[in-house]
Amino acid sequence: MQLSAEQLRQFDELGYLFFPNCFSDDEIALMRTEGDAILKLDRPEVWREKSGAPRTAFAAHKFNEVFRLLAHHPRLVAPLEQLFGEQLYVHQFKLNAKAAFEGDVWQWHQDYGTWARDDGMPEARAMNIAVFLDEVYPFNGALMLVPRSHKGGTLAAGHDLSTTSYPLWTLDQDTVTRLCREAERDGEPGIVAPTGKPGSVLMFHGNLVHASAPNITPYPRKIVYLTLCAVSNHITKFNRPEFIAHRDFTPIQQVSDDALVEHARARRVAAE
């Protein structure tokens, strides 16, 4: 998948791109089945809310073939290689869950703020690509983005170690208010929340300010986040566990576009 000139312009201006229906129903069904199983595992890569509900499963591409294929998928890798002009490696892979009624908040933050402070990533030449595994509604913890906030660079942040089970470098209310006011256009608020069917894909700049509210509905929300970094921009500090901030900077070798479909077909044949 290659980005058009208009998509490149939009990404530069707003800091994000949204692609509805990027993956098929069959591909998503395969990923959802694997994701549900992984979130039930008792292993260090699976982090839980204070309530015990699953919050994040890290590095699933290291021990699950379906997610390994996703981490090498051309629909995700090719657009970022186009943007960065070089090959990429997987800096982080996580499955974020907002369990029905129990999914907790993700505070306002910039991803690159964490990658720079905790991992020693030299520049904001990495970003997240999110793959919706469930339907994302406005009310079940949709990701909220502040358009154009990436243009302000890396902002001052505080290290929040208490709000949730996951430590995060977060922005204060005054900063978020200012950025939202600056992002307002034609009477519309300075926040967008892309929603859509399973299989939709959202990519956003490493410095784009974002957050998500708790999920107090009966509708779960699972999203895979693949963090891809330019190989020349690899991290230089190793403070976090390897399953959170990877230390293998080997360039991604893309699989075929139909790799997930072929994997599902092979699995069905083997079961017959």
Q: What is the DSSP letter of 111?
A: H
Q: Which of 31, 121, 16 is nearest to 79 (CA)?
A: 16
| Region 211-230 average pLDDT | 97
Q: DSSP states of 55-108 as a string?
A: EEEE-GGGT-HHHHHHHT-HHHHHHHHHHHTS-EEEEEEEEEEE-TTTBPPEEE
**The predicted structure's pLDDT at residue 165:** 66
pLDDT value at residue 271: 76
Give the type of residue at 31. M
pLDDT digits (tens, 9 = 90+) for 76-91: 999 999 999 999 999 9
Written out in words, the top-level CATH class of the domain with range 5-271 is mainly beta
Interval 22-40 mean pLDDT: 96
Q: Quote the pLDDT of residue 217.
A: 97
Q: What is the pLDDT of residues 124-175, one digit of tens each?
A: 999 999 999 999 999 999 999 999 999 999 999 988 887 776 788 999 999 9
Q: 182 pLDDT exceeds 90? A: yes
Average pLDDT of the chain, as a whole number:
95
Beta bridge partners of 6: none
- At 36, list the tokens: 């549900």
d(CA 54, CA 36): 10
User: At a CB cut-off of 8 Å and minimum separation 6, what does 94 contact?
Assistant: 56, 57, 58, 59, 60, 224, 225, 227
